[in-house]
Structure 1
């Protein structure tokens, strides 16, 4: 089968299409013929060595696929090597999905959807009527967080995005306004995956008792030193969030994912999906994601 592999660490240029043996499922595992594979920033960090060590090379990235099991079920699955024509998943990490659900939309709900859900529910503990600011509001997580914040009772949802087109998309998804810093008013919740200068602006924009949730560093800059006295003066909190350990908690996976699938089926949640890339053009997908040329979920199709 064809897979995308990297044999050394680096930028998108290390991603190479190769012919490899078909994977063999073990006990309590299923073989999935891949219809579409999701692309995440975590894959970029794997390729540049942030998440892996040299002993794990060569490596096929990809943590999520939509596809068919040998018995014909159409499933959404968590995997370890998804950039391929076939992948192996634990039976416990497979969820059946409807035939009419777009593969990209389904993939958007797994990593990005669960991240947005937990950012608001678990990390920020959003309260009814609070103002939420979503950075990168047209991205995979941000576009869902804008919609879920409204669904979960936010009073106002403000979107921050890098281009006029992305700001319009966020408004179409239900944001009350597209904003830049300084904000019109202080906010109780700010969701940030950018870091750098934007993180610093956000911290100074929190209301008393506010929560700035940091869950990434797409600006790829050093993190801002955080003075505890500054937090005391602001009477605010900075909350770090990582999806992987969050999902290890009881009830953190199946229940939220079921809710996301239900909201999507009802038309109350509309995942944004970027036009798909062929599997063999994974390098271009990573380049576009890094350059912020994408909106919503990025998908590879074999």
Structure 2
């Protein structure tokens, strides 16, 4: 089968096309003929071995696929890597049937980024109706879904951040009440101003570095900052207990892998997201579609922040 394999860690340049043996499904697994594979920012960390879970070589990256079983079922599934290939083995418990009304790209947008957005709001932030929510990188895969879900779940005010006017306009079209420049300089003040001069209740943060610091400073008493990435590859200033106690603030970390296998944390929210999409209440934003051999270009553009929405590898070409 055709696949993208890495034999050394590094940037997009280490993603190379290879001809590999077909994988073999074991007990409790499904072998899929892959139609489309999703590209996530986490994949860029996996390829350079800088993610929460360590990588091993050689490796076929890719954590999510849409494909068909031997019996013809069309499913979307998380993988233990191996998604950038014509065939992939997935755990049956992590495979979800895709409604006919939902496209491959939409399904791929939901299985990592949609579930992440759902849990950021429901599980980690425990958002209550009427609360203000800041969504960083609001034009991206997770952010664009978090904006919509926050409104769907009853947020009082959704404040988006993005790096360009076009991306901020996109966030407003998705339902954000305000959109501000993501530059960390003056960010605390812009977030407060966008919330009518009041500190904010919830921040969904995946950049790290000074954006994390400015976001923490923007939290109201009993506010929650949920951190779920470090796209800048720069750690934030260490948080001291007194900083949290002094304003009754909380910092919560989130990693989707901890939801897998826990009752009610994977299949149920995934079913809700797919149903919302099929009904048109949720609009996953699709970005570039690349051929399998263009995986390196997809990674380069994602890292350079030149993309919006969900990036997809069309494995059939």
TM-score of the two chains, using structure 1 as the length reference:
0.97
Q: What does residue 67 of structure 1 align with?
A: 67
Within a 5 Å distance, the mapping from 1:115-126 to structure 2 comes to: 115-126=116-127
Structure 2 match to 1:15: 15
- Provide the residue aligned with 1:127 in structure 2: 128
Mapping of residues 218-237 of structure 1, within 5 Å: 218-237=231-250
Structure 1 spans left out of the alignment, 5+ residues: none
2:252 is matched with which residue: 211, 230, 239? Answer: 239
Alpha-carbon distance in structure 2 between the residues aligned to 1:155 and 1:262: 24
2:206 and 2:229 in contact (8 A); partners too: yes
Q: Which residue of 1 aligns with 2:184?
A: none
Greater Cα offset, 223-232 or 136-145: 223-232
TM-score by length of 2: 0.92
8 Å CA contact 1:140–1:297 kept in 2: the answer is: yes
**C-alpha distance in structure 2 between counterparts of 1:248 and 1:85, whole Å:** 26
The 8 Å contact of residues 210 and 236 in structure 2, kept in 1 or not, is answered as: no
Paired with 1:136 and 1:254, the residues of 2 have a C-alpha distance of 26
Cα deviation for residue 53 of structure 1 reads 5.0
State the superposition RMSD in angstroms: 1.2
Q: Determine if the alignment matches structure 1 residue 204 to structure 2 residue 205.
A: no
- Please tell me whether the aligned partners of residues 11 and 48 of structure 1 are also in contact (alpha carbons under 8 angstroms): yes
| CA–CA separation in structure 2 for the residues paired with 1:46 and 1:160 | 26
What do the CA deviations read for 1:157-177 (whole angstroms, capped 9, x no partner)? 010011111101100100011
- What residue is the counterpart of 1:162 in the other structure? 163
> How many residues of Structure 1 are paired with residues of Structure 2 in the alignment?
301
Distance 1:27 1:132 in 2: 43
**Structure 2 residue matching 1:275: 3-state secondary structure:** strand
Aligned partner of 1:31 in structure 2 is 31
Aligned to 2:205: 192
SS at match of 1:44: helix
Deviation at 1:29, TM superposition (A): 1.8
Which residue in 1 is equivalent to 2:154?
A: 153
Partner of 1:108: 109
Question: Structure 2 unaligned runs (5+)?
Answer: 182-186
For residues 174 and 258 of structure 2, the distance between their equivalents in structure 1, rounded to whole angstroms, comes to 29
C-alpha deviation, 1:232, in angstroms = 1.8
